[in-house]
Amino acid sequence: MINKTQSHILISEIKEGVALLKDGGAVIVLKVSAVNFGLLSGEEQMAIIGSFAQMLNSLSFAIQIVILSKRLDISSYIALLDKELKLQTNPLLAQTMVRYRQFVQSLIKENEVLDKSFYVAVPVSRLELSVGVLKGDELLKKAKTKILPRRDQIARQLNRVGLKVSQLNDKDLIELFYYIYNPSETRISSSALDDKIIASSAYNPQGSSAVKIEVPREIRLNIPQPVHPVPQPSHPSYIQPLPQNIPASPIQQRQYSPSRNHPFVVEELSDTV
C-alpha cells in the first residue's frame, strides 16, 4: 500500500532543503511574509506593484507562487490560558480570563479561522542538471549550484517590496508536502505564536491583534468607605496635595515642612547708591 501511494508522489528525496524529483529535477520552496495591501496609501501600492512587476520581468526561469489556507488549531492556546488561569490570584482578572477563554472558543466554533501562508517554489529542470551523468550527492551539489543563485535573486527582489523570505528546511518541506497530500488531517499548531503575546492578550487587549475584553457589570470593587465624613472646603482649592508614594522634592519639602516657621523678613533698600 505504501509503495502504491509513493508512486503518485513526484518527490524522490528531500535533503538539505532541496526536494529532488523523480524526473531528475529539483526544487526549493521559499516562505514569503505578507503585507496588508489595502491599508497602504496609493503611492505605496503603486510602488509595490512596480517592484513586483520588475521582479517578474527580471526572471529568466519559471517560478510557482502557492497560497495555502490552513485551519488554525488553538488547542495549545486554550491550554496556555488554563495554565495562566490556575496561577492567577486576582479574582477580577481570573473571571475576565474565563470570559475571554469562552469568547475565543465560541469564535472558533462559529467561524472558520484560517491562516494563510505564501510560498514561492523555485525549480530547476533535469536538462540543466545533466541528470544522465550526475547522481547522488553530485546531483544534489549541482542542483544547489544552479538553484541557490535563483533563490538569492528572488529574495533580493522581494525585499525591495518589503517582504521577508526564508527557505524551508527538510522538516518544513515534509510538513508542507504532507499537508498538500493530506489536507483534511493536518492542522496548524498555535505553538508558533509568541507565548508572551498570548499570555498578555488577556491582560492587555489594546494591541493590534488583541480582542477587546469587556468586564461584566456585576463585578464591583469592594472599596471601604471612611467612617467620618471628610470636611470639604467652602471654596475651591488650587493647591494639589503631594502623592503619598512619591517623595517630595527639596523645594516641596521646604514648602510643606512644619518646622520652617521663621518669619519672612524684607529688607528695604535705601534710595542712595
**Are 6 and 104 found together in one domain?**
no
Same-domain check for residues 122 and 174: yes
Q: Give the pLDDT score at 161.
A: 85
Q: Are residues 7 and 37 in the same domain?
A: yes
> Same structural domain for residues 168 and 198?
no
225 domain-assigned: no
d(CA 147, CA 153): 10
Q: Are residues 47 and 133 in the same domain?
A: yes
| Judgement on whether residues 191 and 163 belong to the same structural domain of the protein | no
Which residue among 168, 186, 204 closes a domain? 186
Residue 256 lies in a domain: no
Report residue 124: phi and psi, to 5°: -140, 135
Q: What is the largest CA-CA distance in the chain?
A: 118
Domain end residue (candidates: 174, 198, 220): 220
Burial of 179 (0-12, 13-18, 19+ CB in 10 A): middle
Q: pLDDT value at position 212?
A: 34
Whether residues 66 and 123 share a domain: the answer is yes
Q: Is 248 part of a structural domain of the chain?
A: no
pLDDT of 253 reads: 45
Residue 167: pLDDT over 90: yes
Does 41 share its domain with 60? yes
Q: What is the pLDDT of residues 49-73, one digit of tens each?
A: 998 898 899 999 999 999 998 877 7
**Does 41 reside within a domain?**
yes
Give per-residue pLDDT as tens, 70-96.
877 788 888 899 999 999 899 999 999
**Closest C-alpha among 194, 187, 226 to residue 210:** 194
Is 133 a member of any domain?
yes
pTM more than 0.85? no
| One domain, residues 173 and 191 | no
140, β-bridge pairs: none
92 within a domain of the structure (yes/no): yes
Is there a domain that residue 100 lies in? yes
Residues 36 and 165 occupy one common structural domain: yes
What letters, b where the CB count within 10 A reaches 16 and e where it falls short, cover 186-206?
A: bebebeebeeeebeebbeeee
pLDDT of residue 32: 94
What does R_g of the chain's alpha carbons equal in angstroms?
A: 33
CA distances from residue 190 to 24, 76, 157, 166, 181 in whole angstroms, order as listed: 37, 6, 31, 20, 21
The domain tally of the chain equals: 2
Q: Are both 154 and 207 inside the same structural domain?
A: no
* Domain contains 231: no
- The answer, yes or no, to whether residue 133 has pLDDT greater than 70, is no
Which domain covers residue 17, as residue numbers?
2-70+116-186
pLDDT at 122: 94
Q: Tell whether 104 and 196 lie within a shared domain.
A: yes
**Phi/psi at 112 (nearest 5 deg)?**
-90, 95
Tell which of 220, 239, 265 closes a domain.
220
